[in-house]
Structure 1
Amino acid sequence: MNTSAGDTISPEATMGRRNPRRAAISGWIGSALEYYDFALYSTVAALVFPGIFFPSGNPTVAIIASLATYAVGYVSRPLGAVVLGAYGDRHGRKKVLVFAMLLMGTATFAVGLLPTYRQVGLLAPALLVALRLIQGFAVAGELGGASAMIVEHSPDAKRGFFASFSLQGTQVGSILATAALLPLSAMLPADQFQSWGWRVPFLLSAFVILAGYLIRRRVQEPPAYVAQSAQAAVKRRFPLLELLRSYPWVLVRCILMTFTNVIGMATLVFGVSYATQKGYGIGFSAGEFLWVTLVANIVAVILIPVFGALSDRIGRRALMVVGGVGGGLLATAYLWAIDQRSLVLVFVFVVIVQGALFQMWNATFATFFQEQFPLRIRVTGFAVAQNIGLMIASFFPSIFTAIAPPGTANVPLVIGGATFGICVVAGLAALLSPDTKGKSLADLEDEKASLHPRSTSGV
């Protein structure tokens, strides 16, 4: 392999110094803690925030505004992806992971201290938006850095399996967030939960700050990255410029594939709002849908490493297409179950749609995206693609509420059809992307060097 341009390092030179288990454990724990913060906000934005941070005169406006603050967290993610991605590519995966964790924990803790709309008026939602922007900036560097570190530490035949643990960690974070809210919503009267009970899980983020520092400071950089980063040519490059110049269509395809996240937004964001908000008149309680969310995430935690290992055997592209399109198709059935006011059917379909089908895609995409970009811009490529895609997709819940507000007939068909259409577009983007089954990272680096020779000369 040619290494004169600073592209790759022989795997033989670094074999024996890789530590995939330690990298996977670090990625798992760190992702769990950081996504605890992010998922906590998402759940409370649907259950609590419409009534305490926004005017209560129009329930539709309050719901849309609250879900829009959920989306705001994704608006700042592309900026975080560019800044933190470049930092991770040029100065180390470890440094960016520590910084992202500390910033996220601080912002989430501050949400728990915010005054309400009744106390300070419009200043309350303004502060909420500001903190959500910080959250989005911080989380943009998390999964890209964590999955890059795991992929670069892992043996080629088990990249999908080991990298899936960072995704499993994100689901564990969602479980922790739900588990923190469940006893509070069950034991406290509704007025007390609305006034102060929801704040407790946010304040617990103080422990995230400490845990993040202790965990992430011990992780080691992947040996291939250490060897490559020592070359001066790499340090002169700004990763975003090379990404846009040499890999624009790869970037576009990955952005479109990220739209598959509409499945979670239709089920666990809009779906929760549809089921629990008084304006829709369905009548499920917040506690019931916290259990729905919890069960879906528990199933996901079990299945993610299974699908990760399966992607090493049959390839990643097939799982991404089948899981994404299948999950989008059955989103209508899940919303129909809510419309039928059948909690049993809701549990059945949320397990199938969010717990199983979506996890085929979710367990696989991190490895697949990482394999699309060369080592020197891997964190930036992944982070920019994922976070631009998520920024766009994050507005789907608010759009769903706007096109199917309270009083709309056939909400499941309207929203389910839109979800399926978006997933078909994402599936086509996956089909147009080259599969990486059976290829080593070294082979993938050589392919990229031959296809993009100008990108090896610096930017």
Structure 2
Amino acid sequence: MTTPNPEAGDATSGRRRAVISSFVGTTIEWYDFFLYGSAAALIFGPQFFPSLSPLAGALASFGTFAVGFIARPIGAMVMGYFGDRVGRKSVLVASLMLMGLSTVLIGLLPAYESIGVWAPILLIVLRLLQGIGVGGEWGGAALMSVEHAPKGRRGLFGAFPQMGMPAGMIFANLALLTVSTSMPQEQFASWGWRIPFLASAVLILVGLYIRIGVEESPYFKKTLTAAAVVRNPISEVLKNHWRAVLLGGGTFIASNAIGYLFMVYLLSYGTKTLGLERNTVLIAALIGSATQFVMLPVYGYISDFVGRKRVYLFATGGTLVWSLAFFPLIDTRSTPVIILSVFVLALLVAGTFAAQGAMFSELFPTSVRYSGASLAYQIGAVFGGGFAPMIATALHGSFDTSAPVVIYMVTLCVISLVCIALIRETSARSLDEFDQPSAPGGAEQRRSAVQHIA
């Protein structure tokens, strides 16, 4: 008779809770972040920049959206530092609280007509705090999942925190859609839009309850036991792993930018430029987010067998091809065609997001993994998604056609494809190999998983 192994059961339970915690936490964080993006596209222009023209108001609104991305590397460095020195868990709790509190305060913020110029100033400050919070969230959530993963399942486990992104987008758009359809447009524009922001307070409590009960990462525990904690992980990353940071960030530029174009910019472009019903565009965005949600674990699972790099290359190459058709299809103003266009793009972009959690974790040793993965991710976010809605708005406003936006999307895909090609496949190696400089080839592997250009 086989003797039960209680430790194995505890390990399985711990993994399950870590994955659930990462998914729920990132869902709440991205709900807050995407809620701002959707409100920036639909509401914030007249609320906080009423004296500007519609185009200038849209640019100013998307400018405050971009401010959050500028703050994300700051959050990555600050929270990455403490995540590599104090632990993943405590930093994730702090990021959730910071993000949630900022979102609730945005819901309470008076409009321009009440407090004048202080309204947009305070909006920018709160957006900066949101950026700092989300800047430290992704790296910790991805690491908690990947570092708890059993052998051969890092890709699958790393996809679960990524699922929080489309889930957050779904909840944010559903919240706006529900509120906007339950009251007259004047009431929604005046005060109804605040309800989804204030609802974040409830989500914070749920997220904290789940996250506080999670065990610390087993790899970080090993680092503490071995007294291998790095005194200044940020300095170590910038000195010895800067290639991995830059190329990792470069792989993310295209998918992040294009993701925000169809999840955020499309709301503004569809309603204000094409004259589509707001609910039509919101439904298309919801379908795209649902597609990503379903496909992320599928791609993550596949990456455990064929490798992260192959999945990433396939998805980014497919995104490049479909980028040529995306806006021309949107410009038809046909609801079925728009939904098809968003569905295919979301299907492809999901492959890049799925491979990312495990790939970025595999680029760095445990002692600097939080800092390295967070910096790579947020650099890609700044140069990709942060300015994408604003750039797309400016391009269309200057040329009065979507063709320059298509060229912009294709260019970003080419940049990401080059960066992906320069990164080694790491899925077959154990995370421990990066922490063993005495192992054959270990010193070189520990520096980075990036191919050097001769």
- TM-score, scaled relative to structure 1: 0.91
Q: Is 2:427 the partner of 1:427?
A: no
For residues 300 and 114 of structure 2, the distance between their equivalents in structure 1, rounded to whole angstroms, comes to 48
Distance in 1 (alpha carbons) for counterparts of 2:319 and 2:95:
31
Once the two structures are overlaid, the 10-residue window that deviates more, 136-145 or 224-233, is: 224-233
| Among 331, 335, 358, the residue aligned to 1:367 | 358
**8 Å contact 1:324–1:423 — kept in the other structure?**
yes
Aligned-pair CA distance for 1:346: 0.7
Matches within 5 A, 1:38-437: 38-234=33-229, 236-260=230-254, 261-277=256-272, 280=273, 282-354=274-346, 356-393=347-384, 394-405=386-397, 408-411=399-402, 413-437=403-427
- CA-atom RMSD in angstroms: 2.0
CA displacement at 1:158 relative to structure 2: 0.6
- Please give the alpha-carbon distance, in whole angstroms, between the structure 2 residues aligned to 1:226 and 1:446: 16
Task: Evaluate the alpha carbon distance shift between residue 340 and residue 452 of structure 1 in structure 2; reply closer, same or farther with a 3 A threshold.
Answer: closer
Equivalent pair of 1:329/1:416 in contact (CA under 8 Å): no
CA distance in structure 2 between the aligned counterparts of 1:91 and 1:231, rounded to whole angstroms: 14
What amino acid is the match of 1:418? Y
Counterpart-to-counterpart distance in 1, 2:148 and 2:235: 26
- Within 1, Cα distance between the matches of 2:80 and 2:90? 11
Q: Which moved more, 1:286-295 or 1:368-377?
A: 286-295
Deviation at 1:454, TM superposition (A): 8.8
Q: 1:453 to 1:133 in 2, by over 3 A?
A: closer
- Structure 2: runs of 5+ lacking an equivalent: 1-6, 449-454
Q: Is 1:34–1:208's contact at 8 Å kept on the other side of the alignment?
A: no
Q: What is the CA-CA distance between 1:241 and the residue it aligns to?
A: 0.7
Q: What is the CA distance between 1:60 and its match in structure 2?
A: 1.2
Change (3 A) 1:453 1:196: closer
- 1:451 paired residue number: 444
Contact 1:52 1:116 (C-alpha < 8 Å) held by counterparts: yes
Asked whether the equivalents of residues 328 and 419 of structure 1 are also in contact (C-alpha less than 8 Å), the reply is yes
Separation (CA, whole Å) in 2 of partners of 1:182 and 1:50: 18
Please give the alpha-carbon distance, in whole angstroms, between the structure 2 residues aligned to 1:16 and 1:372: 29
Q: How far has the Cα of 1:337 moved from its partner?
A: 2.3
Distance 1:454 1:296, change over 3 A: closer
Secondary structure, in 3 states, of the residue corresponding to 2:146? helix
In 2, the alpha carbon distance for the partners of 1:269 and 1:26 equals 26
Unaligned runs of 5+ in 1: 1-12
Structure 1, 333-342 or 148-157: larger mean CA deviation: 333-342
Deviation for aligned residue 1:17: 4.2
CA contact 2:250–2:419 (8 Å) conserved in 1: yes
Count matched residues.
436
Please give the alpha-carbon distance, in whole angstroms, between the structure 2 residues aligned to 1:206 and 1:108: 8
Which whole-Å CA distance do the structure 1 matches of 2:199 and 2:444 have between them? Answer: 49
Percent of residue pairs bearing the same amino acid type: 37
Does the aligned pair in 1 maintain the 2:364–2:372 contact within 8 Å? yes
Q: Decide which moves more: 72-81 or 115-124.
A: 115-124
Preserved contact between residue 156 and residue 441 of structure 1 (Cα < 8 Å): no
Please give the secondary structure, in 1, of the residue aligned with 2:397: coil
Between 301-310 and 255-264, the greater mean CA deviation after superposition? 255-264
Q: TM-score, normalised by structure 2?
A: 0.92
